[in-house]
Amino acid sequence: MTRTGFWTAQLIWWSFYAVANAVTYLPVLADSSLAGQVTLFEQKLGKAAIGCGCSLVLHLVYRRLVPRLSLPALGVTALVASLVGGAVWEIGIRLMYMFPVFEADMPRSALYPVFVLVAWSALYFSFAYRQRADLEAARALRATALATEAQLAMLRYQVNPHFLFNALNSLRALIDENTGSARHMVTQLAELFRYSLRTAHETELTLGDEIAAIRNYLDIQKIRFEDGLEVTIDVEPGAASTPLPGFLIHPLVENSVKYGLETSARPLRVEVRARRESGRLHIEVANSGRWVDGGQPRPPAATANGTGTGMRNLRERLRHIYPDRHALSIGEVDGWVRAVMVLDVADHAAVTGEAPA
For 97-147, how does the pLDDT look when each residue is reduced to its tens digit (9 = 90+)? 788 877 777 778 888 889 999 999 888 888 887 887 888 888 777 756 655
229-235 vs 280-288, strand pairing mode? unpaired
Domain count, the chain: 2
Task: Identify whether the C-beta of residue 229 lies closer than 8 Å to the C-beta of residue 219.
Answer: no
Structural domain includes residue 158: no
Q: What is the pLDDT of residue 296?
A: 44
Q: Please report, rounded to a whole number, the percentage of residues in the chain having pLDDT higher than 70.
A: 82
User: Does one domain contain both 220 and 96?
Assistant: no
Q: Let me know whether 48 and 123 are in one domain.
A: yes
Residue 205 forms part of a structural domain: yes
Among 295, 194, 187, 307, which residue's Cα sits nearest to residue 258?
Answer: 307
Q: Please indicate, yes or no, whether residues 191 and 298 belong to a single structural domain of this protein.
A: yes
On whether the CB atoms of residues 109 and 44 are closer than 8 A, the answer is no
Determine the Cα–Cα distance for residues 156 and 151; give it in Å rounded to an integer.
9
**What percentage of the chain has pLDDT greater than the value 90?**
19
**Which pairs count as long-range contacts for 6-14, CB under 8 Å and 24+ apart, including other chains?**
6/59, 9/123, 9/127, 10/52, 10/55, 10/56, 13/55, 13/120, 13/123, 14/48, 14/49, 14/51, 14/52, 14/55
Specify if 171 maps to a domain. Answer: no
Residue 157 lies in a domain: no
Residue 97 identity: Y
Average predicted confidence (pLDDT) for the chain: 79
68 and 213 share a domain?
A: no
Domain boundary among 109, 138, 167: 138
Task: Give the range of the structural domain holding residue 24, as residue numbers without chain letter.
Answer: 3-138
Of 38-42, 122-126, 146-150, 182-186, give the lowest mean pLDDT range. Answer: 146-150
Q: What is the mean pLDDT of residues 240-247?
A: 87
Q: What is the mean pLDDT of residues 310-339?
A: 86
Q: Are residues 130 and 196 in the same domain?
A: no
Of 144 and 85, more confident: 85
301-316 confidence digits (pLDDT tens) = 333 344 566 677 788 8
Peptide bond just before 267 cis, omega within 30 deg: yes
Per-residue pLDDT, 146: 55
* Higher-pLDDT residue of 183, 87: 87
Q: How far is CA 50 from CA 77, 88, 231, 324, in A?
A: 21, 9, 86, 58
Q: Is the dihedral of CA 311, 313, 314, 318 positive or negative?
A: positive
Say which CATH number the domain at 246 has.
Answer: 3.30.565.10
d(CA 310, CA 256): 12
Length of the chain, please?
A: 357
With cut-offs at 50, 70 and 90, classify the pLDDT of residue 23: confident
Q: Which of 254-263, 267-276, 333-342 has the highest mean pLDDT?
A: 267-276
Residues 114 and 246 in one domain: no
* CB proximity list for 253: less than 8 A, separation 6 or greater: 214, 217, 218, 270, 272, 285
Distances (CA, A) of 20 to 24, 296, 329: 6, 80, 68
Among 81-90, 142-151, 314-323, name the one with the lowest average pLDDT.
142-151
Please report whether residue 281 resides in a domain: yes
pLDDT at residue number 41: 86
Residue 145 forms part of a structural domain: no
Q: What is the pLDDT of residue 285?
A: 96
| Residues in Cβ contact with 199 at an 8 Å cutoff, skipping those fewer than 6 apart | 156, 205, 245, 246, 247
With a cut of 60, say whether residue 294 has pLDDT above it.
no
Domain stops at, among 107, 138, 169:
138
Residues 223, 326 within the same domain: yes
3-state secondary structure of 68: coil
Task: Give this prediction's pTM.
Answer: 0.51
Closest by CA position to 48, among listed 128, 126, 112: 112
Same domain for 315 and 190? yes
Of 138, 163, 196, which one is at a domain's C-terminal end?
138
Question: Do 192 and 128 have their domain in common?
Answer: no
Q: Residues 191, 288: one domain?
A: yes
Domain contains 337? yes
Assess if residue 161 is contained within a domain. Answer: no
- 101 and 218, same structural domain? no
Residues 126 and 198 in one domain: no
**Is 270's pLDDT higher than 90?**
yes
